Chain A
Amino acid sequence: MSTVTAFLTDSTLCIGCKACEVACKEWNQVPDNGFEWLGMSYDNTGSLGHSAWRHVKFVEEGATPGLGGNSPEVFSWGFSSDVCKHCENAGCLEACPTGAIVRTEFGGVFVQPDVCNGCAYCVVACPFGVVERNPDDGRAFKCTFCYDRQKQNLSPACATACPTESIKFGKIDHMREIARERMDELKRKGFEDVQLYDPVESSVGGIHAFFIVRGDPRTYNLPPTPEVPTIYLRRGWTSAALAAGLMIAGTLFAFLGGSRK
């Protein structure tokens, strides 16, 4: 039986309590951050990074007559808890020169802290800007998909602590099924603008942490077509081979021409 798991983060259920951020930090002993006031609504985490493996985004929609019972006087919100997408074709994993980044039996992308030497190549290989080098420590860090907890048959800390089950966790096929059902349900209720973010069409080939959001996913910095950087290799190496040939041929030409003079 497949052991591959996934997160389904349903932002229509999120209340912006940040329990996921707290639980993640406590369980994984992630260093502190977020003591800077960013002015981005209630979000002082800013973005995912070496010390933020869950990040709740706060989108203020203003006092628009919303669906789901909002009266014009009441503020309308969009909250969404962001996390490493654990890509099917993961840029960071492909780029890692030490083999520190591996695929676990649960389908997650895991950085082995005892192998990483901090070359920082994964940082520029991630199309979602998730993994980051910690300047104090020197190594790269990101969400581990709670590999230790999954080994013990436990749900990741964030999903365990989520009070509204906005963060769902389970077998990937089951999660995709639940996502479809939830999308249908929301649409039936009149939420016409709900979208499931799971870029299966792009070279990333799907993710292991999908999101249900209302409106354009770009509002939550979710890129429409994330690409795994290995797709650029063919062009790059072709050009390198051409360049190498030109270096040798050109130099040969210069020296042979020079000796004749």
Chain B
Amino acid sequence: MIDENLPRGSAGSRLKARELRLQQIRREAKEKGRIESAGVQPLNAPFPLASPGNGYYGMPTLKAPAWTWQVPVYFFTGGAAGASTVIASVAKATGADPRLIRDARLLAAIGSVISPALLVADLGMPSRFLNMLRVFKIQSPMSVGSWTLVIFSSSAVGTAFLASIEKKTGHANRTICNLENATEFVSLLSGVVLSTYTGVLIGATAIPVWHKNVGLLPLHFATSGMATASGLLELRGHENVALNSIGLATALGETAIGIIIELRRDPALRPLKEKKSGWLTRIGGLLSGPLPLLLRLLSLGGGQERRKKLRKAAAVSSVAGSVLTRFAWTQAGKASAKDPKIPLELPT
């Protein structure tokens, strides 16, 4: 029967030899593959045995995310870079301080150079990073994100470059001006996607703690990105009322998100409240929400010097909180994947 199916020639005979080997494995298994006694228990037994209440020896059903530190850092840099273009575009449209526009664009450009580098470094085969652009798949947030990042990086760097030409030549060339507006618009559109899609990316997965928060994550990451962008610009020395308002609003938003997470009692959300990932989430949440909120509220009264100090402290807290938050979500995903009970719908 085997011979009929196999191709003729030398390739066929090689295949036949390998096929015979499979028959040999089968024969050997039939003769010797017999189990007659229980397996040897380890010294610290009983650990979770295989049962309807434990699943298979308490082994996780899901695989933990393989992503290394580059990915949470990318969530941070990408989110901040995307938010910077929003600040740059709006600042320009409303006729704000030109130095603020320049710095916001620069921040976006820097972020747009670091972000792809981080993502490429995390790939198992970095030399194949261009394979990301082989296809466009709307149903894959990773594909949408890769294309967004490419468009964002080119347009953000392009905008910063065109602006620098304009500054060098000293006068506004009409063509360059139009081109700059176009790249800025593209970077704004791709920037808001970049700041938010990472929430969809981890939300649309099999990891319980992530997909249970799929509606919250894009809002959370967008808020966090805005807080970072405006915070970094404040730390650069811009004492802008609008930046403070953004800082206040995002701190308020992050506080609300923290409360929502704490109030929900779903056992799938335990990685956000327990152990290492829980601590990271809580510290990140405090630094992103209540602490900067308090500092900014305190800054409303008192002298100029005190206000400056408090707002800078709030900015530092927000940026640090944003970094920690991204690491917290990645860690929570890893912890969630290791919990065997949630995907098996077992009582916890």
Contacts and interface: CB of A to CB of B under 8 A. Distances in A.
Contacts of B18: 26-27
A139 B39 contact: no
B211 A49 contact: no
Contact of A219 (B56, B200, B210, B246): B56
Interface in A130-161: 130-135, 137-140, 152-154, 157, 160-161
B263 interface: no
A40 B143 CA distance: 39
The winner among A46, A47, A251 for most chain B CB atoms within 10 A is A251
B260 interface: no
Interface stretch (A2-10, A171-179, A182-190, A227-235): A227-235
Contact of B242 (A27, A135, A255): A255
A172 B7 CA distance: 25
A232 B211 contact: yes
A59 B59 CA distance: 13
A127 B5 CA distance: 36
A94 interface: yes
Contacts of B35: 15-16, 42, 77
Contacts of B123: 117-119, 138
Contacts of A162: 26, 29
A197 interface: no
A139 B125 contact: yes
B15 A152 contact: yes
A60 B139 contact: no
A94 B30 CA distance: 40
A119 B123 CA distance: 5
B49 A60 contact: yes
Given A99-B137, A138-B125, A240 B96 contact: no
A247 B83 contact: yes
Contacts of A138: 123-125
Interface in B180-225: 188, 192-193, 195-197, 199-207, 210-211, 214-219, 221-223, 225
A91 B200 CA distance: 15
Interface in A216-244: 216, 218-221, 223-227, 229-230, 232-233, 235-240, 242-244
B45 A39 contact: yes
Contacts of B132: 97-98, 117, 119
B214 A257 contact: no
A215 B56 CA distance: 13
A30 interface: no
Nearest to B59: A47
B67 interface: yes
Nearest to B197: A240
Interface string A80-122: 0000000000010011111110000000000000011111110
B219 to A, nearest CB: 5
B34 A251 contact: no
A18 interface: yes
A236 B52 contact: no
A17 B135 contact: no
A1 interface: no
Interface stretch (B157-165, B168-176, B293-301, B338-346): B338-346
B37 to A, nearest CB: 7
- Interface centre among A78, A152, A218, by most chain B C-beta atoms within 10 angstroms, is A218
Contacts of A251: 86-87, 90, 226, 242, 246
Given A26-B25, A117-B123, A19 B33 contact: yes
A39 B41 contact: yes
Nearest to B219: A243
Interface string B213-245: 011111101110110000000000000111101
B30 A116 contact: no
B63 A19 contact: no
A226 B205 CA distance: 12
A118 B126 CA distance: 8
B226 A233 contact: no
Contacts of B10: none
Contact of B125 (A116, A127, A225, A255): A116
A225 B343 CA distance: 8
A243 B343 CA distance: 29
A120 B330 CA distance: 14
A22 B204 CA distance: 35
B121 to A, nearest CB: 11
A113 to B, nearest CB: 10
Contacts of B22: 23, 26-27, 157, 160-161
B204 A230 contact: yes
A62 to B, nearest CB: 8
Contacts of B91: 255
A253 B90 CA distance: 9
Contacts of A57: 50, 56
A123 interface: yes
B52 A261 contact: no
A7 B263 CA distance: 45
Nearest to B12: A152
8 contacts: A40-B50, A98-B128, A120-B65, A124-B333, A220-B56, A236-B199, A236-B200, A254-B245
Interface of A: 15-19, 22-23, 26-27, 37-43, 46-47, 49, 57-60, 75, 77-78, 91, 94-100, 115-121, 123-135, 137-140, 152-154, 157, 160-164, 215-216, 218-221, 223-227, 229-230, 232-233, 235-240, 242-244, 246-248, 250-259, 261
Given A75-B37, A95-B204, A247-B195, 7 more contacts: A40-B57, A95-B142, A96-B140, A236-B217, A238-B215, A239-B216, A259-B242
